[in-house]
Amino acid sequence: MTDLSFYFQPVVVEGSYDEVQLGAQIQVHQHAFPELKGPGCAILSVPEYRGSSHEQLPSTDFRSALYQLHAEAHWKKPIYDLGTIEPGATIEDTYYALSNVVSELVKNNIIPIVIGGSQDLTMALYQGYEKLEQLVNSCAVDRSIDIGSADQAINSKNYVSHMLLKRPCYLFNHSVVGLQQPYVAAPELELFEKLFFDVSRLGEFNQDFRIAEPHLRNADIISVDLQAIKATELGSLEGSPNGFTAAQLCQITKYAGIADKVTSIGFFSERALRPLGCGLLAEAIWYFLQGYFARVGDFPFGSKADYTRFTVFMDDVARELVFYKSNKSARWWMEVPYPPQEGARYERHHMIPCNKADYDNAMNNELPDLWWKTYQKLG
């Protein structure tokens, strides 16, 4: 594995921890850089705020809160804390360093858990997959869409446009969970829909939290904007009066951890976190780890022997829809046909996570929205 140590400043650990606490179980970069071996997870902080409209001092207090939490007995794979990637001379230098780290970790089956910094650092996560020449899906837990204008320098409000315009483009799909309509310009939402991207609004999530799970399960990259959290839940007087609760954020990150396809996650904030916010961030990381260690490896690649197959013929569109239900987890997928000349390029993207409700709707002759959008992108 390529040496990554020169990218990182070590962690200063104060105090001691019981053997069952994460502070004693995480392999922390203090005096020596840990020897990285996958599979596992690696925590790293990147206090880069130049892509934000807010100039903030970095906050790494989440570590002291995280280290006090208790690991579960079955967490046997390694967890690393690699330390901090300090901002480079330019913001592009920071992106370059982070993208190299992400690429190397993902290649070696280690999930980077990135603590920002502003959300434009999602671009650096994406660039890490570019180096691997891997077609990817991203999912933002966010109150806004962040398409913005690509004519402006990349920032936390337009990073999605910059991801789309890079050539070659390796972004197959992008989804947003937690969208709040007051924070979205109508032209942005119209463009989002023309791209056949997916949206799960906050109100929809509040009515049925399961609506967001397929979007998380379909992603390679998860990008969490902590501004999607209700300000009072973060102990802040600034931010949104509406948003996810603390419990909902932990529910989301556990879903992300369970998802076999997710290979990186980032938590980003344009404002320095207060102690309550750092504690919530620590818990969100903990629940992601809990989900990760509960993975059952049932994403339907290759053989479908461990799945129950359901076929629905839809009269209105004269199509046969194929659904699969995992015998391990009872989770659902639907199969979307793709042009045979594309070969393996779309192999990871034609099996779409869904809910049983999508199957029920198909039985009622209603074409699932996720199926239609994916079919348009594959065609």
Mean pLDDT by 10 residues, the chain (379 residues): 94 90 96 95 95 65 94 95 96 97 98 95 97 94 93 92 92 95 92 92 93 94 96 86 96 96 95 88 98 90 83 83 92 83 58 92 90 84
Which letter does DSSP use for residue 335 in this model? Answer: E
Neighbours of 199 (CB within 10 A): 17
CATH 3.30.70 for domain 307-378, yes or no, is no
Q: How far is CA 275 from the centre of its chain?
A: 24
Assigned CATH for 5-292: 3.40.800.10
Q: Which residues contact 105 (CB under 8 A, 6 or more apart)?
A: 4, 36, 38, 42, 111, 112, 264
pLDDT value for 257: 97
Residues of the chain with CATH 3.40.800.10: 5-292
Residues of the chain with CATH 3.10.330: 307-378
pLDDT value for 227: 92
Give the long-range contacts of residues 190-199, CB within 8 A, separation 24 or more.
191/147, 192/145, 192/147, 195/164, 196/373, 196/374, 196/376, 196/377, 197/173, 197/373, 198/173, 198/174, 198/370, 198/373, 199/175
Which helix or strand (DSSP H or E) is residue 40 part of?
strand 40-46
User: pTM for this one?
Assistant: 0.94
pLDDT value for 306: 86
The phi, psi pair for 364, rounded to 5°, reads -95, 15
Cα 54 to Cα 21, 50, 121, 169, 255, distances in angstroms: 34, 8, 15, 30, 30
pLDDT value for 38: 87
